[in-house]
């Protein structure tokens, strides 16, 4: 059984209805059960006329199987969904709700969200229950040529997250590649580690359905405990491990051979794959194949692929990000013709149609090139033959432990604190990797510094997910400015390092 993006329906593909589709920490859903539960949600929506809802709906929870049934139900109904993990603070969810105009929330957790102006449907197993009701706008939908599938919100430098809109054409282009060029099959068990608000999770989320394979979900209780995760992978014979390099690094640090013979593939995306990590994995899992892929949320998960074989490890350090996926091109936009590297521009049918309700930013980042959608990534790269290498960024976007963060979003949130006169945020690096976020603050008053610091941190926690909350706040009397009249962050970092052990 599998989800077919062409007919947008579940189709009876195989003769193994008892085969597992989705596994969470409470339930093991066969394909038959999974389809039945997705159908129940569809029927419930139709009964209430919500299948005619045109606004994106929120699917909230943390690694419950119901999140997946709800997602697949929304795909059948052609209603765009916004996946939100419980790691987001309520204020951030409220902002997303406002930006998207959401009217319906599907809550797969046990705790009601009760967001203002929304109809909230709680789902637990096969039980569907309306726990809050508000007006739901419905409209007869015409046949849409390329309906939206999902919207993933990522950090936005203005101080608010931005919604990346991914359409059916983009998902179809992605799954066609995933089910073709990677060597995966319906017998595979995808090991999920990322939460569903991040586009890394789309790798396994869409591919298990397109193949009729199995999705092994792991909640944070499991992913933060090496032994638990290893036992679980072993129990369910997980064989495709999808993760950020930062995540895998924690597992190679345990040193000993975890004895996971079942793992056949490591699929990496989201940040630089360190040569040392790939070398280590190669030693610990000699039978596993390591894939490096590259791509931003704005171009549907990934756009390039390379298998990091022994030969590649011997030949390249740093490692390449790979070769282009079919139907997609990456153009290097160089400042001078003779430059080796430049900004990477992705063109193709996997590129997003733009940011939700944000025309200005969409115009800045998206355009049409030779009749194809194109996106300015902000990543710097170069080619060696057809092989692409990624060299870092040309803006203030960073990756911290695999999480995508725009430092200006943190700054803008902290500037809203009543005791803050001005602020700027930096990512402190060790070698090339960001290890800590520090916000430099000019306070409005000369009060108890520790108290002000605590108050700024708790203000940040209210609006930002945990991984964006600064690791430290450092108070200064004033900022220095460089020749371009920009805050001289280099000077601030020097000052910080003179005062702090890091």
Q: Which residues bind ligand AMP (CB under 6 A)?
A: 154, 199, 269-273, 292, 294, 296-297, 321, 377, 379, 390, 393, 399, 404
Beta carbon nearer to ligand AMP, 99 or 457: 99
8-state DSSP, 109 = S
Residues in the chain: 502
Contact predicate 151/56, CB 8 Å: yes
Beta carbon nearer to ligand AMP, 427 or 443: 427
- Parallel, antiparallel or unpaired: strands 354-355 and 214-216: unpaired
The least CB distance from residue 301 to ligand AMP, in Å, is 7
**Distance (Å, whole) CA 350 – CA 324:** 12
The least CB distance from residue 402 to ligand AMP, in Å, is 8
Q: Where are the alpha helices (DSSP H) in 300-344?
A: 310-315
**Distance (Å, whole) CA 238 – CA 99:** 38
The least CB distance from residue 204 to ligand AMP, in Å, is 14
The least CB distance from residue 5 to ligand AMP, in Å, is 21
Q: Which of 305, 502, 468 is nearest to 398 (CA)?
A: 468
The least CB distance from residue 312 to ligand AMP, in Å, is 13
Beta carbon nearer to ligand AMP, 80 or 164: 164
CA end-to-end span of the chain: 53
Q: Which of 443, 427, 426 is nearest to 435 (CA)?
A: 427
Paired with 384 in beta bridges are 387
Q: Which of 206, 179, 186, 165 is nearest to 366 (CA)?
A: 165
Q: Where are the alpha helices (DSSP H) in 268-320?
A: 275-284, 310-315
Beta carbon nearer to ligand AMP, 64 or 154: 154
Beta carbon nearer to ligand AMP, 325 or 399: 399
240-243, strands of its sheet edge to edge: 28-30, 20-23, 214-216, 189-191, 240-243, 265-268, 289-294, 304-307, 323-324
* One-character DSSP codes across 395-408: SSEEEETTEEEEHH
Beta carbon nearer to ligand AMP, 3 or 198: 198
The least CB distance from residue 194 to ligand AMP, in Å, is 9
The least CB distance from residue 394 to ligand AMP, in Å, is 10
Tokens of 241: 């491990």
Give Cβ neighbours of residue 350 (< 8 Å, ≥ 6 apart): 170, 173, 174, 299, 300, 303, 325, 327, 328
Angle at 292 between CA 302 and CA 250, to 5 degrees: 110
Beta carbon nearer to ligand AMP, 296 or 465: 296
The least CB distance from residue 32 to ligand AMP, in Å, is 34
Beta carbon nearer to ligand AMP, 212 or 270: 270
Contact predicate 170/350, CB 8 Å: yes
The least CB distance from residue 481 to ligand AMP, in Å, is 28
Beta carbon nearer to ligand AMP, 103 or 199: 199
Beta carbon nearer to ligand AMP, 230 or 301: 301
The least CB distance from residue 393 to ligand AMP, in Å, is 6
């Amino acid at each position: 059984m599998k989800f077919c993006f062409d007919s947008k329906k579940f189709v009876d593909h195989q003769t193994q209805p008892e085969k597992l589709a989705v596994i969470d920490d409470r339930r093991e859903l066969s394909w038959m059960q999974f389809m039945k539960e997705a159908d129940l949600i569809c029927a419930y929506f139709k009964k209430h006329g919500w299948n005619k809802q045109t606004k994106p709906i929120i699917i909230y929870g943390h690694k419950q199987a119901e999140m997946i049934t709800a997602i697949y139900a929304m795909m059948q109904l052609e209603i765009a969904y916004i996946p939100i993990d419980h790691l987001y603070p309520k204020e951030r969810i409220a902002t997303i709700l406002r930006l998207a105009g959401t009217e319906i929330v599907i809550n797969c957790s046990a705790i009601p969200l009760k967001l203002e102006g929304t109809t909230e449907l709680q789902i637990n197993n096969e039980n569907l229950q309306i726990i809050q009701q508000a007006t739901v706008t419905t409209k007869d939908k015409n046949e849409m040529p390329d309906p939206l599938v999902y919207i993933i919100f990522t950090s936005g430098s203005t101080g608010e997250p931005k919604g990346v809109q991914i359409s059916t054409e983009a998902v179809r282009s992605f799954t066609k590649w995933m089910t073709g060029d990677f060597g995966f099959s319906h017998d595979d068990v995808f090991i999920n580690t990322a939460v569903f608000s991040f586009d890394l999770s789309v790798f396994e989320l869409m591919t298990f359905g397109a193949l009729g394979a199995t999705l092994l979900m792991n909640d944070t209780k499991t992913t933060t405990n090496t032994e638990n995760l290893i036992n679980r992978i072993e129990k369910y014979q997980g064989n495709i491990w999808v993760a950020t390099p930062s995540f895998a690094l924690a597992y190679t640090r345990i040193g000993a051979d975890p004895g996971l013979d079942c793992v056949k593939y490591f699929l990496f995306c989201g940040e630089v794959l360190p040569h040392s990590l790939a070398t280590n994995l190669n030693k610990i899992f000699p039978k596993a194949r390591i894939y490096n892929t590259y791509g931003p949320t704005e171009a549907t998960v990934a756009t390039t692929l390379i298998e990091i074989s022994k030969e590649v490890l011997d030949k390249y350090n740093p490692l390449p990000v790979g070769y282009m996926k079919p139907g997609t091109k990456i153009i290097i936009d160089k400042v001078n013709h003779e430059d080796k590297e430049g900004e990477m521009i992705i063109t193709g049918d996997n590129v997003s149609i733009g940011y939700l309700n944000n025309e200005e930013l969409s115009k800045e980042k998206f355009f049409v090139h030779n009749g194809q959608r194109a996106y300015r990534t902000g990543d710097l790269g170069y080619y060696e033959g057809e092989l692409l290498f990624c060299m870092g960024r040309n803006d203030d976007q960073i990756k911290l432990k695999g999480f995508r963060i725009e430092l200006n979003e943190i700054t803008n949130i902290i500037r809203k604190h009543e005791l803050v006169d001005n602020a700027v945020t930096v990512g402190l690096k060790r070698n090339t990797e960001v290890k800590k976020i520090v916000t430099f603050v000019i306070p409005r008053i000369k009060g108890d510094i520790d108290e002000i610091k605590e108050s700024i941190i708790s203000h940040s926690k209210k609006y930002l997910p945990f991984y964006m909350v600064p690791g430290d706040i450092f108070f200064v009397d004033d900022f220095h400015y460089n020749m371009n009249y920009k805050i001289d962050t280099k000077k601030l970092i020097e000052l910080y390092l003179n005062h702090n052990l890091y």
